[in-house]
Structure formats: C-alpha cells, structure tokens
Amino acid sequence: MSIIRIGAGAGFQGDRLAPALDLAERGQLDYLVFECLGERTIASAQQARRKDPSRGYDPLLERRMRAVLPVCAKNGTRIVTNMGAANPVGAAQHTARIARELGLSGLKVAAVTGDDVLDRIGRFVLDETGAPASELGDRLVSANAYVGIDGLVEALAGGADVVICGRASDPTLFLAPLVHEFGWARDDWEKLGRGVLIGHLLECAAQITGGYFADPGVKDVPDLANIGHPLAEVDAEGNATITKLPGTGGRITRATCIEQLLYEIHDPARYLQPDVVADFSSVDFHDLDPDRIGVSGAGGTPATGQLKVSVGYRDGWIGEGQISYAGANCVARGQLAIETVRARLAPYGAQMFDERGEMVGVNSVWPGARAAADTPEVRVRCAARCADSDTARRVVEEVEGLYLAGPAGGGGATGTVREVLAIASTLMPANAVTSGVEMLEVHRETA
C-alpha cells in the first residue's frame, strides 16, 4: 500500500460530529481516529464506573458510533479511538451491540487494556505533591499510564475494524495504524518520530484547519461555521501531506500548521512519547496547493523507557459565585462587592485552601490588567477551594447575598458547587505496564 489516508474525527471529548461524518463519507479514509480523552476525563470516567461497572466510557460513544459505523464499514475505514476511557472492554461490548443492531455482522471490535495501573501506583512519588500516591488514601481515584502502540498494533494485526483503548498518548492513536500498515521497526526512531508528528498535528482535529486560530482582520478563516476536520496522506517513509475535504470551511496554511506544531509542546527537540522521543526542531511545512501542506523534517531518538502516569484524586470542593454591575462607577462597586464577600467569608478561612476575587471584563484572565475609565460593565466572580461542600456552598450564598446586602445595582447572580478531581503525574517504568487485547466479533442477530 503506497499511501495511507488517516483522518481526525474528534480532538476532545465534546468535539463536533458533523465534520467527522463528512470525513467518513467523503474522505476515502483508511483510518478515522477519535481522540476524546482529556487529562481529567479519565478520572471522572473512573468515578462513573465505580457507580455503575458497565459505564466509565465516553458518554458520546453511542452517538458517534451510530453515526459513523455504517459508513466506515461500507468504505472499509477502520476506527481507532480512546473513547474506552476507564472501561475499554465495556465500550467495545457496547459498540458491538450497536453494530449488531445496525446489521453490521462480521465487524470486529477490539478493546485494548493495560493502561489502568491503580493497583501498583502506591509507591510512586507524585510530581505535584512530592509524596507517594498511597498517601492520598481513599482520595485516590485513578491512575492511568500513557501507553504506546503495542496493544493497538496487536489489535489491528488481529483484523479489528474498530479499536478502542483507554489512556494512550494522543499521537499514539495515529502512530499505531502507520506502524501496522508500513511495518516500521520499533527502533526506526526517525520514522516513529515522523509518525508522532503526524499524530500530533492531527490529534486536535480542527485546530489545524483554522479552529483556535481566527482573529478577524488579522488571521481570517473562511466559513469557520462549516470548518472541516483534517486528514493526512502518508507514505511509507512517513512523509505526509495535511489537507481537508473540498467544500469544507476553514483553511490549512503554514501558519495554522506552525501553531499546531508547538501546541502543548515544551522542548521541540524532545517530545517525550511512549515509543520514541520525537524531534520536531527541524520540522518544516511546504505550500503545495491551497489547503494542502507538505510536512518534513521530523526525527526521533530512543524512547526513555518511562511512561507518564496521570493520577486522579479528590481534592476538596470549589464554590463559585458571580454577579454583574454596570454603568456609572461599576468597577468601584464590583471591587466593593469582592471586599464584602471576602469579609463575610473570613470566619470560614480555616476550611478554605485558596480563594480568588476578580472582575470578568477587567482582570479575570490577566491579573496585571487595569480597568479602562469607561468600562461599561463588570461581572464579579468569587471562587474558593474548600475542604467540604458546605463551605463551598457559603461562597455561593455570600455572592447571592449581595442582592440585598451588597453595593447598588447588583444583578444576575449565579453559583455553582463542584467536587475537585485533581490530576497529578508521575513516571513508571514501561516494563511495569502490559497491554492486553480483547477481540469481539459481531454475529448476526438470531431471532
């Protein structure tokens, strides 16, 4: 096979479905990849699974699979996704059920397991807390290693049409099909680095086709409303062209590619991945045709032998309240509101770890900012991280209390209380993590 066409169906859990379906229908794809797992998503999925052992996978799995399975089966497009979250086997079983209902007999659905390392995380010291994970006690919720391509490649070699994993490094979802198709050696660091680059560029879907990019009058993006998702045409050497479907909105240019190249990258020469340390420092992009960009120059060096592990733990409660002030002197009234709430919450200080008072429209993003003289309106926001939900509730109540007992003209108070699911990280030797594959085959429904 000379060229593999691989597309991005989703770049985060809640991503839009229409561009994925368009790619499935018109993209002549070999692979459609759905990357749906954020840093915190898997910890909340683990909590969902504890409440109901049959759950814990992506809540949108059903909707996505129902939409794309028939067309992918028809076109021979294989699906790779981390929508398994905390329960890849459950996700695969559910996908097989959907396929059966859709009459897609013969379809093979694989679950890739092994990323869940909760049973052996205890002695590992967390970067953020400086203490072993075991010290979190019953606050510990999840521990998942960012695994590499092993399980995914095994599933593809076993003939899976749909491969569902939990936590894997995001570019891995794209690297695995390329390694499977082209038979790249596991120590061909340059090709693995090139594959990681392709995955990295595609994994955030619309972020390379003009999403997270438009700046009117400066960086204009045509037809943002109908933005298409990207696909790559990849050859056996790992050279790639990034493009999107004709008729879709958005644009792919050197500028969109460079922004995405550096997105969530630290040292460009050392992008640490489970299977390789990718080197993006000499990557370049070439204009081929409108919305077609050639990619070259990625390299790689041997993997570190360590896997990053995300550890989820309960870390108190956040209470947050907001209220608006507008018109003459609104900034001063907003400031008085913040001071008033702080004074009223002072008795609860021992149960509050952290607090924040600010004005949206003035300084909620940039603490160094100053209000303009003619600021037309502000939205006061008070938030605190608390030991318990009752204390967090006080924050909401004290902001709401400003209606009658605060500065003049406060309106539109809102409030939320939520439990904090924090994420810490550590490293684990790769040889302590073993992938497994469970293959399900869809059989015709027998009446």
Partner 1 sequence: MKLHEIAHARTGDKGDVSNISVIAYDPAHWPIIRDHVTPARVAAHFGSFAKEDVTRYTLPHLHALNFVIRGALTGGVTRSLALDAHGKCLASVLLEMEIDMSASLTD
Which residues contact partner 1 by CB under 8 A? 39-40, 43, 127-128, 212-213, 215, 218-219, 255, 258-269, 281-285, 315, 318, 320, 354-356, 358, 360, 364-368, 381, 383-385, 420-423, 425
Burial code (b: 16+ CB inside 10 Å, e: under 16) for 27-37 equals bebbbbbbbbb
Of residues 28 and 306, the one with the C-beta less far from partner 1: 306
Residue closer to partner 1, measured from CB, 105 or 282 = 282
Name the minimum Å distance from CB 361 to partner 1: 11
Give least dist CB 152 to partner 1, A: 22
**Least Å distance between CB 264 and partner 1?**
3
380's torsion region: left (phi>0), alpha (psi -120 to 50) or beta?
Answer: beta
- Nearer Cβ to partner 1, position 27 or 357? 357
The CB-of-424 to partner 1 minimum distance in angstroms stands at: 8
Residue 273, burial from CB neighbour count under 10 angstroms (0-12, 13-18, 19+): buried
Minimum CB distance to partner 1 smaller for 268 or for 436: 268
Name the residue nearer to partner 1 (CB basis): 27 or 316: 316
Closest CB to partner 1 among 77 and 426? 426
Angle at 392 between CA 388 and CA 396, to 5 degrees: 160
**Nearest distance in Å: CB 431, partner 1:** 24
Closest separation between CB of residue 62 and partner 1, Å?
26
Q: Determine contact, residues 143/133, Cβ cutoff 8 Å.
A: yes
Q: How far apart are CB 268 and partner 1 at their closest, in Å?
A: 6
- Cβ proximity to partner 1: between 182 and 263 the closer is 263
Smallest separation, CB 381 to partner 1 (Å): 6
CB of 157 to partner 1, least distance (A): 31
Q: Which is nearer to partner 1, 154 or 320 (CB)?
A: 320
CB closer to partner 1 out of 30 and 315? 315
* Residue 32 or 424 having the CB closest to partner 1: 424
Residue 75 C-beta: closest distance to partner 1, Å = 33
Task: Say if CB 247 and CB 222 are below 8 A apart.
Answer: no
